[in-house]
A and B are shown apart, each in its own frame.
Chain A
């Protein structure tokens, strides 16, 4: 059955929808967690520590966190691979363009593709910056996320990369959430307006919630 799903355009799209929704759920939690930065160093760092102890004593230190990381890596890889393969197929299925051009024709599709590439690059940069500290601008210290975040958003490029990526995320979720509902067969005429509204609200809340942090650092509210 896994083979049938992966080999079919409809099935591969299902993989994209499910992995996309998994990432979306994670991002909602991530965004809410980030907002704790507005309540001070202690609360934010404590929250970061808690992430490593969730599930204890059933789970060992960092087990839950690693479980989430594994699920997310699987989701990102599945999502990006399916996106790449489907996009290649789509471009091959339409080899010649029309002489008479109409720009609007593939607006959502194109923004999903370049938006997806931006998000993929961002995820790599973001992990190297704030998880491993490899490309971090200040002196990265694990266990001191508050200071690390302030350092990142004290550089102009840290802010620029982050804000551009979050705008891309908003656009991606706007079309993606509604698309996933159609792919999974959950859409219907009577539900369409509600689904589009939820997609817009999710996109807006996530973008605004994530961008609030660099804006907080830039304006000195967080320092």
Chain B
């Protein structure tokens, strides 16, 4: 396959960025999107040019490091991570626009790499349990009803990639935060911090400069892990419950 790439290039956080156009040839439809970019970078390096910086790690869809808005879609046209997107989703001769995640809370570091440490601080605000866990406990020690376990697992799938923020017209982090809150709040292990968790994580989310939710639903459409929009509804419920309880004390 022969492709025309229009890629966002930006030297550093303070520099002005712009789209640059590159031609790549000899791309196999079986390559992943990141392998296609590796091919481009090899050519750039041979020509003595600066390779395109982009985030990646596991390349198997589980770590949440890869990003990229491809033709306006976070993680591209398929419902998966960019590392698991294959070139067969495109056609020979296509022009592909590649941009970084865009949000005030995710500043560009270089080219396609953005700083997602705002997510880490949201987790630090309450995305953990305080019970000392030690070694793996005996499985029957703390029974969890099956529907709760399923609910927790569905939300635990969030890999913290930030596609939800990138897709949101308001740069909101509600889907990510709700996935983390719901995952722990439904389990007995997360119960002691049930109220402080949701209050603190939402407060941190606001402090980081993410936008508010207008229920546009773009986040859930973009999420490679299928975190549902109803996740946000449930976090709102938890937040209201915790606020009422805090008000009574």
Contact = CB atoms under 8 A, between A and B. Distances in A.
Given A94-B103, A188-B230, A100 B212 contact: no
B243 A92 contact: no
A89 interface: yes
Given A89-B211, A99-B99, A188-B230, A1 B216 contact: no
A102 to B, nearest CB: 4
A1 B170 contact: no
Nearest to A110: B169
A4 interface: yes
B215 A93 contact: no
A80 interface: no
A93 B247 contact: no
B124 interface: no
Given A10-B239, A90-B170, A94-B104, A99 B212 contact: no
Contacts of B103: 93-94
Contact of A109 (B203, B216, B232): B216
B113 to A, nearest CB: 15
Interface string B76-94: 0000000000000000000
A100 B240 contact: no
A101 B216 CA distance: 16
A187 B233 contact: yes
Chain B: interface size category: 35 or more
Contacts of B235: 10
A23 B233 CA distance: 22
Interface in B195-211: 199, 202-203, 205-206, 209-211
A100 to B, nearest CB: 4
A95 interface: yes
Contacts of A86: 212, 214
B72 to A, nearest CB: 4
B97 A99 contact: yes
A1 B247 contact: yes
Nearest to A85: B212
Given A9-B212, A100-B71, A109 B169 contact: yes
A188 to B, nearest CB: 6
A175 to B, nearest CB: 8
Interface string A124-167: 00000000000000000000000000000000000000000000
Interface residues of A, number: 45
A108 B172 contact: no
A13 B212 CA distance: 8
Interface in B208-236: 209-218, 228-230, 232-236
A105 B236 contact: no
A108 B216 contact: yes
Contacts of A79: none
B104 A98 contact: no
A8 B241 CA distance: 14
A139 B99 CA distance: 61
Contacts of A91: 170, 211
A186 B97 CA distance: 40
Contact of A1 (B171, B228, B233, B243): B243
B72 A101 contact: yes
B209 A105 contact: no
A211 B202 CA distance: 42
Given A94-B169, A100-B72, A109 B236 contact: no
Nearest to B166: A98
A219 interface: no
A195 to B, nearest CB: 10
B168 interface: yes
Contact of B214 (A1, A95, A109): A109
A92 B104 contact: yes
Contact of A189 (B105, B167, B228): B228
B102 interface: yes
18 contacts: A4-B199, A9-B211, A9-B213, A11-B243, A12-B212, A14-B236, A90-B171, A91-B170, A93-B211, A99-B6, A99-B97, A100-B99, A102-B73, A108-B214, A108-B216, A182-B215, A185-B233, A185-B237
Interface of B: 6, 8, 19, 69, 71-73, 97, 99, 102-105, 167-172, 199, 202-203, 205-206, 209-218, 228-230, 232-241, 243, 246-247
Sorted from nearest, which 9 A-B pairs have the closest CB atoms? A185-B237, A93-B211, A106-B169, A90-B170, A93-B171, A9-B212, A1-B247, A94-B171, A100-B97
